[in-house]
Structure 1
Amino acid sequence: MTALWVIIPAYQEEARIDGALNALAAQHDRDFTLLVADNGSTDATLATVHAFAARAPFPVHTLTEPEKGVGSAVDTAFRHAIAHGATLLARTDADCLPAPGWTAAARAALLTGDVLVCGRVTARRDEHGPAGRALFRALVALGALFGRIRPAHHRRHGYLTPYRMHAGNNMAITAALYQAVGGMPRRPSPTDRDFLNRVRRHTTAVVRSPDMVVQNSTRRIRAYGLLGTARWYLERGPGPRPTDIR
């Protein structure tokens, strides 16, 4: 099968990354290589990954990216994977839970051509109750609407395809397209919008895969509060709080 690598950037994720690793171990399609890009953690993040690697049903690699920022960690990891033979790339985050069909859906979408695939995000069921999950859905919908109507995203600015919601914790892209657009912006998050716009300036091949589902952490709601989280999903930053709770 075509070489698929899954990338997870991580920073101080000892409390959550085991869930992401176990979710990947439960995938229906386990013909992939996992690469965890640690962004200088001082906790047991890497130790947890190494312990998992001993029992994992697929190859597991790690690297350390000293340049701070999720964009730097992701870009280094993607380029490392490509240099080691990856032709298909999928990414999730260390606090997320990919559904069992996630890698299969990513592979199926990527095999249609040189595309960027946007998956569907839902709220983790183990962090908030129904009200918190409903709030998360509303915030994601608000962010998607803002992205579509934002004047700077209109096609008159040189974009070849309409804007669509793109979550960095649930994406896939071919290696060829990743290299063609210059890779992920090497800076702290949020990087999703800028990367999507790089792709939109290059191609119309931005597709949505509703079967590519990831349960997203809602911890930002607790850390930033409602208004801070809304600012985040509107890509205005979290206000006076740190730029990324990770």
Structure 2
Amino acid sequence: MKQYKKWVPIIGLTAILGACNVIPRGHVERQNPPATKQDAPIADGQLVVEQPHNNYYQPLIDDQGHYPPSKNRGLTLTLNSDINLNLFETDLLRLSTQHFSTDQYFIQEGQLLIEETVSNWLGRESDENPSGLNPPEGEGTSPLYLASILEHDFYTHNGEAFELGGLTIGLAMNGSYETDEGVQEIPQGEMIEQAQQIAGAIVARIRESDKIGSVPIVIGVYEQADSNDLSGERIY
């Protein structure tokens, strides 16, 4: 089973970007179904959510007392990837705590990027899918670099209402790809270059939304390990 190998420790990839099968294109499957909404107690019209531990974020729930599930969790290209979502999510949360304090921010999972958007982004760029972030089909090798996108949204409370305070976007990159001659490794330099381009494109697209404005966006880039590497090593 292929697991994630490491966060790529490259400045500009894991950093705040603030205001300052060969598969047909876009064929994406959901690794796990979206989580069901979880109820939370309501007292005197106020939502009550206890923070389980100082190292954990308090969830931001809706006015019906539900924690909305992610709109894009589990989307992954089926080519060359069997994604360990739990490991991916856990390490992305660890990265988030370096930029968004658990004492000051509340969390929601993947509410800004809808499933259709992420599915198109994971596909190959083509006339039918101009927003695809993987390279178009061409002669010779044409790896699918980007395997999965994960989003966490962070909110602050100004005393009257919640305001979006930042986003963390995780990019899972393939470290190898399948060819007629077998599995070929993707050089890390090539993977990093592609990740930089993809991260820049995603930030630019997210900034176009009126909901986002100039809030900080943290991009974490994760490389998948070889199929026989189960260490799940994380480096900085």
Shorter-chain TM-score above 0.5: no
| Between structures 1 and 2, the one with greater helix share | 1
Q: TM-score, normalised by structure 2?
A: 0.27
Which of the pair has more CA radius of gyration?
A: 2
